[in-house]
Structure 1
């Protein structure tokens, strides 16, 4: 209830009241309490399935009309996580403003899992995701993805670090280092911890940060090392040294959207523009 309320920008009690009204209208319970939370009943799940198909048809019809008019206009909502957003979104938005002034690109920073949830609940039109946080096997059948770019992780350290003279650093080289970890994604933390454990040790994490600004400050002062995506290593790294990491960890970044909207002119021009700028930095 709290998550729905947050997504819809209303109070939890308002969500509860709306569900109660809907239950009165259909004459059957749609949710049931499970501990401190609630779950959908069989009737609730069936209603959600029907509603999803209805929304998909509405989106498909809207795409049909836009395609017939050939008009690139209106709002296009984009969800993307920080590293890919910083690398690609500014130029993409700037280009689209110049080439399609009637199209308004509305961007919101979201981690891949958040973006997928927003896409499923019609809170965004496009989500940029990666295969580390959103494995292909877990994708909703109603969601289509287009591959965008591959990214390789690097190690970041201070310029006077003992390993800074090396072009390539191994996981074993980092065994006795202090680590600062980006906690925005639990999958990211788990992935790095697993990679260290495969090399025979558990990383000594001395700091957990949600934002890159603090991570960079800790690294530049020599307090710790950090692992960061190659896309993020393109800018704003004054006072640090970036080295390649072996064995490498690679992720595939994709564009996700609802299948019914594939023919939307606005979606098509955004995808084309994003792919163009991704190709420039690949």
Structure 2
């Protein structure tokens, strides 16, 4: 059985439509459909069946995906073993990271790696945790940063491992001249009458903040929904809004704002995830080790 067709079936088990699989594998939907049809011919049994606008796997398809997971794990282990034999940390490592990690942590880590391993090229792509995890599972990236605030690693990611990088806590970001700026801590209830700026680029995080307000008994008055932190921070610095941000956002000084710890404390654990079969890959190992060291340096600073 062709490994590319098996991978297409595996993607179909989680994405459920030919179009979604095609996008993940950089193919056309008709090419994916043809691969599945050829795989069914090779297997001699139906592997999928229509369900509404999508498809679902038959029992035979589910069994074949389980075997595919093990085969792909072994292939990753083989690549890692060969890389160890070469004894050279080189090549390209593709990294998926959400904005706070990408801005606060990765430049420091990548620069340190460049000095120690000049033949290792790190390519960074900004993706939210769920997107990064999907990209990792589809072999589109080699490592992905995730946090436990926005997702949990479930059964569908059984071939994914993660290493804890750092713990982050949330802060209220206020204009420096705000009447509450001198407080040691603030609750979401204290911000009931404020106008809010939210980063809508991360739909999950924006909804998380809205839900914090709703649990405090009110609907936030949102006067800015920017696709990125630049607009949010500008609105707060100008005195137009307040917001809730991860502590990592304050790793770089922002003029005109202050950060006050949220009460009660809300934290998140940030981890770096990779495929189990590549745990011994030299490039993955040095990258993860350096990220952990760089995170410790940020915590000390």
In the superposition, the TM-score normalised over structure 2's length comes to: 0.86
**Structure-1 separation of matches of 2:30 and 2:194:** 49
Question: Any conservation in 2 of the 1:131–1:251 contact (CA below 8 Å)?
Answer: yes
Give the deviation of 1:273 after TM superposition.
0.9
1:172-204 Cα offsets, whole Å, 9 max, x none, are 211111222223344323432333233232322
**Alignment-derived partner of residue 73 in structure 1:** 90
The one-character-per-residue Cα deviations of 1:110-139 (angstroms, maximum 9, x if unpaired) are 111111111212221111110112225567
- Whether the 8 Å contact between 2:69 and 2:159 is mirrored in structure 1 is no
Instruction: Give yes or no for contact 1:31–1:40 (8 Å, CA) kept in 2.
Output: yes
Question: Which of 147, 159, 163 is matched with 1:130 structurally?
Answer: 147
Tell me what 1:213 maps to: 230
1:26 corresponds to: 43
| Distance in 2 separating the partners of 1:90 and 1:202 | 37
User: Is the Cα–Cα contact under 8 Å of residues 132 and 187 in structure 1 kept in the other structure?
Assistant: no
Q: Partners in 2 of 1:31 and 1:66 — Cα distance?
A: 37
Equivalent residue of 2:157, what SS?
coil
Q: Which moved more, 1:116-125 or 1:15-24?
A: 15-24
Q: 1:168 aligns with which of 159, 180, 185?
A: 185
Deviation of 1:100 (Å)? 0.8
Q: Using the alignment, how far apart are the partners of 2:288 and 2:37 within structure 1?
A: 41
Partner residue, 1:235: 252
Shift of 1:78: 1.1
Aligned to 1:17: 34
Pairing 1:39–2:56 present: yes
Unaligned stretches of 5+ in structure 2?
1-17
* Partners of 2:239 and 2:21 in 1: CA distance: 42
2:13 corresponding residue in structure 1: none
Conserved? CA contact 1:111–1:184, under 8 Å: no
Aligned to 2:105, what secondary structure does the other structure show?
A: helix
Q: Give the 3-state SS of the residue equivalent to 1:231 in structure 2.
A: helix
Alignment of 1:1-282 (within 5 A): 1-136=18-153, 140-235=157-252, 237-282=254-299
For structure 1, the 5+ residue unaligned runs are none
Alpha-carbon distance in structure 2 between the residues aligned to 1:215 and 1:12: 38
